[in-house]
Structures are given as structure tokens and as C-alpha cells.
Structure 1
Amino acid sequence: MLTLGIDIGKRELYVCLQESLEGNRRIVAQRGPISNNAAGLRKLTDWVGKFTGHQPVQVVMEATNVYWENAAWHFHQLNWSVSVVNPAQVKYFARSVLRRGKTDAMDAEIIASFGSVMALTLWRPPSETLAVLKQLTRERESVLRTWLQENNHLIALRDAHQVDAKVITFAQERLALLERQVNDLEQAIKELVQQHTEVQQQLKLLRTIPGIALISAATILAETDGFARLQTGQEISAAAGIAPSPRQSGLRAGRSRISKTGNARLRRMAYLCALGASKSHSRLGSYYRQLITSGKPPKVALIAVGRKLLRIALAVVKSGEPYQDDFVSAHGGAGPTPLAEGQGT
């Protein structure tokens, strides 16, 4: 089996082609830099073809910002096996093999070795609708973050001892522009959803969960690619980096924390939804209050509610059934539907 490890950069790629045979690995060839554009990817394909013959090729790359997308789409359209992995996985793998030094060429070799020894999930592109939805929700988040910065700036200007009126006017105009953009993006999200029945139905299901509104539902759906590759509660907790990370060695038991090795946007949205759910009269709200009563700090309790909320979100979308606040699983506790028992909630 041949594995092509690609180290992704904004402008350039470095690659390493490895062959794995009966547990032994050898480097077939290395190359770089290669332009990270359509022409460069075509040249890379021709170069790989010189060594592969009719052998299948597994392509492995890290999810580096958005710069991996062109390569992933290119090789997927060629019907090659493509895996896009979390950079943290490769980082810890490199530590495990005691790698010394770091260059782009060495990174490509490590990525190829990682792909050769690990059982990786194949990457599948999201639907066009979900891809656009992800762009819209992320842009809204970015504009809203800028709005908050500008709003704080305006408050500081107004509190200043002396400031020119024109400066206040400019700050107000920027703030008004950002407000219009947030509203326009939210309207674009609504219009996109209305045009696609399946997405509309999935969002409708998610909004039956306490704490989840339209924008939060759209963000969760977009960041999980419609839950296409997620099957269990453990998987979605790990995907969001919100799963517990125990710390114990011998007689020493450290404080458990969440892993944070996942999608930060999904984790942040789960936390924000948990804030809303914690104030409700639902089972999720009761769960939050029980945790507080038992002595858990508010932030820890909210993280626990957010983790449960994501598991419920997975279950309602997979089952096609709305959240049922009065449903009690065979294992005890609330669940959205009977399917939740099989989803790890």
C-alpha cells in the first residue's frame, strides 16, 4: 500500500510517498516545494503516477486552516482515498517516534508514516448546502466578534476625557455597518435553509432542544457536516473536544479536564447553548441545577450540560424525532428519543 503524506502550506506543499509492506515502511520518493494550486496539484498527480503503476494510493494531510481543501477535493475527484486528520494527532505521533528536528519535508514524512500505521477515516466532502452554511455561520461569527471589539472601542472613546466628535462618528458608522452585515448574514442563513427541505427539517429537530435557536442549530449542523461521520455520543464529544480527559498515575489523581482537541467552534456553541438550557425548566436545566447543588463550579456544570446537549442533538437528527423532555432511557436520565439509548446519551 502506498501512502502519500502532504505537508500543507498556504502557498506550497511538501510530499512524501511511502510504501508499507508486511509491517515494513520505506520512502519511495519525496518532493517539494510544490505550488498549492490547481497547476501544482496536477503536476503532483503526474509525479505520483510515475511510482504507483496500478497500486492504490492513500493520501493523508492535516486540516491546516482552509489550505488543505484544494488538495482534498482534487484527490477525492480522482477517486483516491483521502484522509484529513487533526494536526494534534500527527504532533503526538511524531513525539511517540522521537522525531528530532522539524522541517516541511520531515513533516511530510511523519504524515506519511502516520497514515501508513493508523486506521484512518476517509474524508468525504460535505454537501454544497452545508459548505455554504458553514461559510455563512463562520462569517457571522467573525463579523460579530469585530462588532464586539468596535463596541468596546466606542465605549472607551465616550469615557475618554477629551475626544474629537469626528472620531466618535467614524466609530459609530463602523458599528452600524457591522450591525447591518450581521443582520444580512442571518437573513442569508434563513434564506439558504428555506431552499433546502432536508436541512430545514434537521434544523427544526435541533430547535426542539432547550437552548438551541436557529443560528446555533445552523452552526452545529454546519460544523458537524450534518453529523454525517458521527454515530455515537462519545464521537461527537470527542469531535467538539468536550470529552473528559482523566489525569491519573499511580496514587496520584489529578483534576480531570476537557480535552479541547476538537472543533473549537462546535465546543463554543455547545457552551453558549448550555447557558440558555441551564435557565430553562427542562431536564437539561434540572441537570445543571443538580450539578450546582452537588458542588460543581458553574463553568464545569455548563460544560457537562453542553456535552449532553450535543449528544442529544446527534440523537434527534439521526432518529428524525424531536426532543422529548419527558423521555427516560432504560439507563436512567433524560433523552430526546428512544434512539438516544443507542447514541451514548
Structure 2
Amino acid sequence: MDEALAVFVGIDVSKDRLDVHLRPSGEAFFVSRDGRGLDELTARLAACPVALVVIEATGGFETTVAAALAGAGLPLCVVNPRQIRDFARAMGRLAKTDALDAEVIALFAERIRPQARAVPAPEATRLAELVARRRQIIEMIGMEANRARRMPDKRLAKGLARHIAFLEKELSEIDRTIGDGIKNSPAWRETETLLKSVPGIGDVTARTLIAEVPELGSIDRQKLAALVGVAPMNRDSGMMRGHRTIVGGRTCVRNTLYMAALAAIRHNGVFKTFYDRLTTRGRPKKVAIVAVIRKLLTTLNAIVRDNTPWRIQNS
């Protein structure tokens, strides 16, 4: 594609409409977020030399839009809203309307040029929804359990116990549905088997990675670490020199990998040795655990990429 003719598209997704902005022309329009509006949108964009379309992940409203754009063969990237907010602040764009948001997203697409990636198949999208719902139920169980511990009224405490029992039943049903989905998909079943060949990786971690990191095995370890949010970022400002932190990324995946790293440190000699070496050198335990997460993620990425189980790769 001729760089001079390339069009970068930003789309602000709301419940009822889509605000669209094209760079560098500055053309802007909106369509309804329904079948007719999506048809109009894909037709208009298909007539342009589109280099990239960027939309924000907006809690589910973007799913149908992303599927329609991907189905039309348009290069698409769904980005974390925080990236757009940080970019807008850096640009001094503090005003906020749907049309202005679309313009900022288009500017982000043109100047940052995030990598376009395929939208998951419907089955993968459903699995991601199930994994997200499982996480919500676990959070609700935790909150209700905390309330029950502080509840002096026995009658109300019994009500909380019944609700916790109900949520635990829902959790079991979701786990069963996720398991059935994995078993009925040869591709997922193979990937799950590969991931679980690593000591310390169980059902929850494997299924979370399959559902929420479709890029696993297809990008390099640096990009993957940044994607998940375990890549150390510079914080050299003022008196803060040489300090590195992890920020952004896919929080739910990072939290799952944190627990997997703890399991790997206990049950996997390779990762235990790596962790012990870091702590012996004086690294704080949390820093060492994050390093284990990165090493674990790199290992899992290579296993999926090479289609080679742990026991063979590390024999």
C-alpha cells in the first residue's frame, strides 16, 4: 500500500452508535451500532486504502463491530482504553466527546501504529466470555465471604452462606462448560495439552491463556511480555533512576500467571532454581516472582510456537 495514500481509522464505540474519524483526511461521520450501520461502515471503509482500524475495548460493545470489520478483511486492532487515555493526555487533548474520542483514536492509529491482529473465532470469543464470567463469580464469592465473616446477624449470615453456595454451584457449571468447550475443539485440546505439560500449569492458567492470549506462539517474547504487562518499564524521572516497574497489559492474565508462577516455583525444578538464584543475589521476592512469570510466559510461548511439550523440549 502506498504510504501517502494510507488511511488510518479511529472508531469510538458506544451503546447505540459508532463515531468514525479518518486520518489524514480528517473526514468524520457516525453510524448506528446495528446491522444496517455496520453494513454502511464496512462499505465505506472497504472503498478506502485502509492501513489500520483501531477501536477501544469497551466492555463488550466492540465485539460485534470488530467481528464485522474483520469479516470485511479490514486490518484491525482492539486496544486497551488506557493506552488511548495516556496518548490523549500526552497530546494535551483533555476535551472529551464521542467525535473527539474518535479523532484521538485515529491519531493514535496513525502515529503509534499498533500491530493489527486477527479477531478470535466465535468459539474463542465464547471461551473468553466464560473465562471472564468465571473470574467475576470468584470475585463475588470472595466479597460475600468477607461480608459473612463480619456479619453479626446470624439470619443474614445464613443468607450470605446460601448465596455463596449458589455462586459456587455456578462456578462448577462454568468450569464444566469451559472443559467441554476445550474437549470439543481439537485445536484447543492440543494447545491445552501442550501448556499443561509444564509443571505448575493447570486448567485455569491454560484456559485463560487460550481464551485471552490468542497471540501466544505467534509473536516474540518481548512483545508478549508487553502485551501481558510483565515487561519492565523505565521510570527515570527526577530522583527515580534505574527503577523499573510493570504496568498495563492484560491484568486478568497477569494475575493468573502470578499464581502459576508460585506453583511452578514449588513444583518445577527449573523455575525453582531460577527463583532461588535471583533471591540469593539479593533480588526482592516480588521482583523474582515477576521474573519467573516472564520466564514462564517465554517458555509457554515457545512450546506453543514449536508445538513441543515441556518434557521433550527440556529433556
Q: Same fold (TM over 0.5)?
A: yes
Matched, 1:301 2:300: no
What amino acid is the match of 2:106?
A
| CA distance 1:315–1:233, change in 2 (3 Å) | same
Preserved contact between residue 191 and residue 304 of structure 2 (Cα < 8 Å): yes
Counterpart of 1:86 in structure 2 is 80
Deviation at 1:237, TM superposition (A): 0.5
Matched, 1:26 2:31: no
Preserved contact between residue 319 and residue 337 of structure 1 (Cα < 8 Å): no
Counterpart of 2:107 in structure 1 is 113
C-alpha offsets along residues 97-136 of structure 1, whole Å, 9 cap, x if unaligned? 4435332211211222222344342231213332222122
Counterpart of 1:311 in structure 2 is 298
Counterpart of 2:3 in structure 1 is none
Distance (Å, rounded) in 2 between the aligned partners of 1:81 and 1:252: 39
Preserved contact between residue 200 and residue 268 of structure 2 (Cα < 8 Å): no
| CA distance 1:86–1:145, change in 2 (3 Å) | closer
Preserved contact between residue 270 and residue 307 of structure 1 (Cα < 8 Å): no
Counterpart of 1:17 in structure 2 is 22
The percent of aligned pairs where both chains have the same amino acid is 29
Secondary structure of the 2:76 match is strand
| CA distance 1:226–1:113, change in 2 (3 Å) | closer
Deviation at 1:232, TM superposition (A): 1.3
Counterpart of 1:291 in structure 2 is 278
What amino acid is the match of 2:198?
I
Distance (Å, rounded) in 2 between the aligned partners of 1:246 and 1:68: 32
Distance (Å, rounded) in 1 between the aligned partners of 2:13 and 2:314: 42
What amino acid is the match of 1:14?
D
Counterpart of 2:7 in structure 1 is 2
Counterpart of 2:309 in structure 1 is 322
Matched, 1:156 2:150: yes
C-alpha offsets along residues 65-117 of structure 1, whole Å, 9 cap, x if unaligned? 22211211112222233232333433343344443533221121122222234
Deviation at 1:264, TM superposition (A): 0.8
Matched, 1:55 2:48: yes
* RMSD of Structure 2 on Structure 1 (CA): 2.5
C-alpha offsets along residues 224-270 of structure 1, whole Å, 9 cap, x if unaligned? 11626x42111111111110112236996142111x22111111111
Secondary structure of the 1:266 match is helix
Higher CA-based Rg: 1
Distance (Å, rounded) in 1 between the aligned partners of 2:248 and 2:260: 20
What amino acid is the match of 2:225?
S
Distance (Å, rounded) in 1 between the aligned partners of 2:94 and 2:164: 49
Counterpart of 1:221 in structure 2 is 210
Moved more, 287-296 or 236-245: 287-296
Distance (Å, rounded) in 1 between the aligned partners of 2:183 and 2:239: 57
Preserved contact between residue 42 and residue 68 of structure 2 (Cα < 8 Å): no
Distance (Å, rounded) in 1 between the aligned partners of 2:146 and 2:108: 45
Counterpart of 1:342 in structure 2 is none
Distance (Å, rounded) in 1 between the aligned partners of 2:54 and 2:77: 5
Preserved contact between residue 42 and residue 72 of structure 2 (Cα < 8 Å): no
Unaligned runs of 5+ in 1: 19-24, 328-335, 339-345
Unaligned runs of 5+ in 2: 1-5
| CA distance 1:92–1:145, change in 2 (3 Å) | closer
| CA distance 1:201–1:251, change in 2 (3 Å) | same
Distance (Å, rounded) in 2 between the aligned partners of 1:172 and 1:97: 51
What amino acid is the match of 1:55?
C
Counterpart of 1:68 in structure 2 is 62
Distance (Å, rounded) in 2 between the aligned partners of 1:60 and 1:323: 37
Distance (Å, rounded) in 2 between the aligned partners of 1:294 and 1:81: 46
What amino acid is the match of 2:144?
E
Matched, 1:36 2:33: yes
Distance (Å, rounded) in 2 between the aligned partners of 1:290 and 1:140: 35
| CA distance 1:280–1:14, change in 2 (3 Å) | same
Q: What is the aligned length?
A: 309
